[in-house]
Structure 1
Amino acid sequence: MNNTPTAHNNAKLGDIAETILLPGDPLRAKFIAENFLEDVVEYNTVRGMFGYTGYYKGRRISVQGSGMGIPSIGIYSYELIHFYGVKNLIRIGSAGAINENLNLHDIVIGMGACTDSNFASQYNLPGTYAPIASYKLLQKAVNIANDKGTTVTVGNILSSDVFYSDTGLGNLEKWKKMGVLCVEMEAAGLYMNAARAGVNALTILTISDCPFTGEECSSHDRQVAFTKMMEIALELA
């Protein structure tokens, strides 16, 4: 049975490459397609979550917005894996620094993703699941960064369901004590969907704000200025 197109995606089976970049912001997907890919075809416009397939250095690759939060990336990644045959899913997103050594525009690769989400409850596991990246993609991304002379920090990140917390920075202080590097909102759900399906997933993040100091990038920077992260991800195709 062909489940495509879906309620969330205009694409037909075969329109999407086996490797896809997943920025949360659909305008970042549009920027990548227009500035890095050749022979681009737009395959999705549903809900403004733009999706494109093209070629980067001769390799076929797709890029699509995934929205904000685990529920959103949970839907898009599940469909991409199970209905469109995607094998490598690379989230490229923004994050808030928790570790005091991280600054605006620094790049973090999420080896593991802690979370306050209840997403894993659906699997009825007899314990606490630890969502992690695919080592194959992680190792390759670090090697690419090294070859480019780009400094990256690899470690544990936090995927939070809450953007405006009633506790202020109190909860982030607790995660900081456990060595967590930064906070975002999607990686844990992506890692769990990928693990359950036996495919590869990785999260590459650029620090867009520092909650403890109040520093932050503009919304325009979040769309177009995180090119080092984009280039590492594109090389993974």
Structure 2
Amino acid sequence: MIETIDFHIPELDAMKKYPKEIFCIGNTELLKRPKISIVGSRKPNQYARQFSHEIASKLSQAGVCIVSGGAIGVDAICHKAAGANNTIMVAGTGLDKRYPAINRNIIEEIEKDGLVLSQFQAGVPSNKYNFPLRNELVVALGGILIVTYADIDSGTMRSVEYALKMGKEIYVLPNRMGESDGTNKLLNKGLAQAIYDVDEFVAKFGVVKENNIAQDEFLDYCKTNPTYDEAIAKFGAKVFEYELSGRITIKNSSIRLF
């Protein structure tokens, strides 16, 4: 059921204008948790996919609520990695819609166990001018902003502009030349800090208890980029199970982590 937030959210005072209305579905107690916003490209490379997942997962295990925008790519990866019960999705449509449709199952899980927010009334479609407003809200909610992959002149870089105006610390993954030129430019200009060690970074915000980290032999194996045939020979049906759950993808006859 769509409700209206009836209390003040201090983090949103950083916005150019505090939202007139904020609609929600889910657990508003998450708004009182320590929060970090993570954003990035809809088409990140495999390196960014892997570390987006690892960063979001470990921050979540350390007690941080992950905020993102529900888009395909980095957003969806981070929502999944955090777990539906520890993530806030900010929508760019009215909450009677689940956009993008490809993420419908993820959004439904967050509605049930996490929190979905929107500045737009029911019935408002995915107009392009909605998303800058969505992005500003995503950035404002987090204590810092993490950008794992971004091209120059992308929508993600508009989120960075909000973070700079709000005085937020920005963290990025170090990428190779010719990849994620937007975040590389931020590093070059001294506008962002690089995450070189995920565990060391996460330790700034909380403690990940060892017994919270379940070792997964198959996922560790997938980090070696095995071929599909090699994975089937070694792990059999587990390959199909993980593909169906969205934790891996199969591309050009090779296994890739989601």
Higher helix proportion: 2
Higher strand proportion: 1
Q: TM-score, normalised by structure 1?
A: 0.31
Structure scoring higher RCO (CA < 8 A, sep ≥ 6) equals: 1
Bigger-Rg structure (1/2): 2
